[in-house]
Structure 1
C-alpha cells in the first residue's frame, strides 16, 4: 500500500498543480492595466481634487464597460500632489512611476507641479494634464500632453473680446503673486501689447490676501475700463465684491477662475457680468457637454465642474492612445497620440507634435448667477 502511495503521489501532485493553474488562469487573463493620477486630494485645493477624482473614476468605469484596454480592465491609482506644492507633487509622481510602476498617468494639474515633476517622468511615462502654463509643453519633455487651451490662447481671447465686442481699450491687470498669477499676467500683458496697446495699470496681490482696496483704488484712478484678473477663484470673488462695495464701475474678466462654482457662489450679485476664458461650463448647450453633465451629476449628486470634465477627457484620451499603441510602452503611447482624434467634453482633440491637443476656448459671462457661453474662439 505504501509503495503504491509513493508511486502515485507525484502524479497526483502534478494533477493538482495543473488544476490550480487552470483555475487561476482566468484571473491572470483579467489582470488590469494600471494608470496613475496625481491630484490635489488634500490641502487648500482639495475640493478641486474631488472633482478631478470623480471625473477620472467616471471615465474608467465607462472605458471598462467599453472593453477596457489591451483586452484587460483599466485600473487607476491616485497620489496626492496638493495642487501647487512642487515638493509634494514630486513625491506623488515618484510614487506613481517608481513604486506603482505606471507608464501613463493624468495630472499634475498645476503648472508649477507639472514643471517640477517632468524631470522624473519624461521618457519614462506619459502625462496627460490640464495645466495651462505655456512652458508645460515647451520644456523639452516629449511625453507630456495637454488637453486644455494654454494661457496664451486664454489671454488672447480675452483681449480680443474686450476690444472687439466690448469696445474697451483701457485694460488693467491684477494678478496673484504666485507662479500661476505671474505667468498668466505676463501672457495677458504680452497679448495687450501685441494688440498695439499698453496696460493702463498693472497690480498684484499676495496669496490669501483679504483686502484689495488699495489695488482697486489705483486701477480706478488710472481710468481702467476692464480689469483682467489672473488669480484663484476665492480671491477673485473677494475682489469683485469689494469693487461693488466701493461703487466702482469697471468691468472684470479673467482666467477660468471667474466661471468656477466657488467664484459664482462667493461673488454673488457682484459677479454679474464677470467674463472669463474657460474650456468648460456646465451650461454650454453643446450635446457632448450636456451628455457629460447629465451622467456626472446623476452619479455624484454634485454640480459639474471644469476639473471633472478635464480629467474625464484626459482619461479617455489616454485609454484611446494605449489602445492605438497596442502597448503600455510610454514612447509608443506618446506616438499614438499623434494618430488619434477624439470628440471630448472640452473640445475635438487633435494633438500637435509639442503635446498641445486643444485649440479652442470659450468666452464665458456670469448671467443671473450662471456662467453662460458667449462665444467660442478656435485657433
Structure 2
C-alpha cells in the first residue's frame, strides 16, 4: 500500500488529522493496534477549548457537538469554604469552553471517516516505523496473520504515551522532561444530575475534588487519592462521602448520588519530549506530551498539534513549502510548554501534597484568594483555561 501520510493510532488526534487531510484531498491511512470497540470504550476528557471546537467544525464533524455539547461561560473555584466563579466569557472577550466527552468526539470522527471512505487498519500487530530520516519512510505491521507494508511521504505518530512512534526515535535524539505527582484522581461516572451547572474545582485540606459532567443527566466526579490507593478499596458510599466532605456545604447538601457506572484511578504526570519531530516522523498529542488533567489541556493540546501539522502539510502539498516541516516542533512546543505551566500551576494550587502542612495549606488558599481578588489574576486564569491562540503557519 502507498499513501501520502501514514497515521499511527486512531484516537481523537489521529482521526481528526485524518479527517482534515481527507477533506483537503491528501491521502492518508490510519494504522491502529486495537479494535474500534476498545477505542470507544475509553473514558477520558470532556472539556473542549474554543479552538478545538472550531477545528472540529472545520473538519465537518461539528453537527452533533453543536447540538448536544454544553457551552460553559465559566467555572467555580472552591476553597476555604467559599466558591468563586471565573467568568470566562467576560474575561476573554467572549470565549467559552464546551463540555462534550472525548468518547463522543471519537465516535463522530469514526463515523465521518467511514462515510468518507477513509482507510483505517485496525488490529495491526508489531507496528514498526522505518527509514524515518529518508524521503521514503514506511510502516510495517502484521494484520490477520499477514505481513503488510505502507509506503508514505510522512508519518504522524498519534499513538499515545506508550505507542511505538516516540519509541522509534533514538534515545540520544530526544530530551525528556518529566514530573510524576505523588497522587492520582479517583474518578466516578454516574447517571445523576450535576451538582452545579458549571465545573467546580475544589481545594480542601483532605485533598482536591472536581465536579464535572458529560450531559445534564450524566456526571463525572473526581477526588484526589494517594498513589498507592486501589480502586477496589473505594465503594460508592465511601466515594460519595469523601466528595461531600471536600465540597462547600451548599454544594454537598444538594449533591445527588447514585450507583457508579465506571470507576477508575488515573495517575498524574507532566511529560514533554523534545523535539516533536524526527526526520519524516511527527509526534502529536500524548506521544509527545502529557499534562495532569487539572487544567483540562490534554485533548486540547493534541488538537493544536493536529492543527499545526495539518496546516503545514496543506502548504507542503499545495505550495511546495517543505521548509515549514522543520518548524513543526518549534511551533507546537511554544504552546505545549505554556499549557504544561498552567496545568502544573493548577495542580500545585489545588492538591494536597505529602509535605503540605498547615502553613502550605494557608499559602495555597492565600494564592487562590489573591488571584480571584484581582481582575488581572482572574483574566490570567481565564485566558489559559479557554486556551491560548493557535499560532499561524506562514
Whose strand fraction is larger, Structure 1's or Structure 2's? 2
Which structure features the higher share of helix residues? 1
TM-score w.r.t. length of structure 2: 0.29
TM (normalized to structure 1)? Answer: 0.29
Give 1 or 2 for the bigger CA radius of gyration. Answer: 1
Task: Say which structure, 1 or 2, has more relative contact order (CA 8 Å, 6+ apart).
Answer: 2
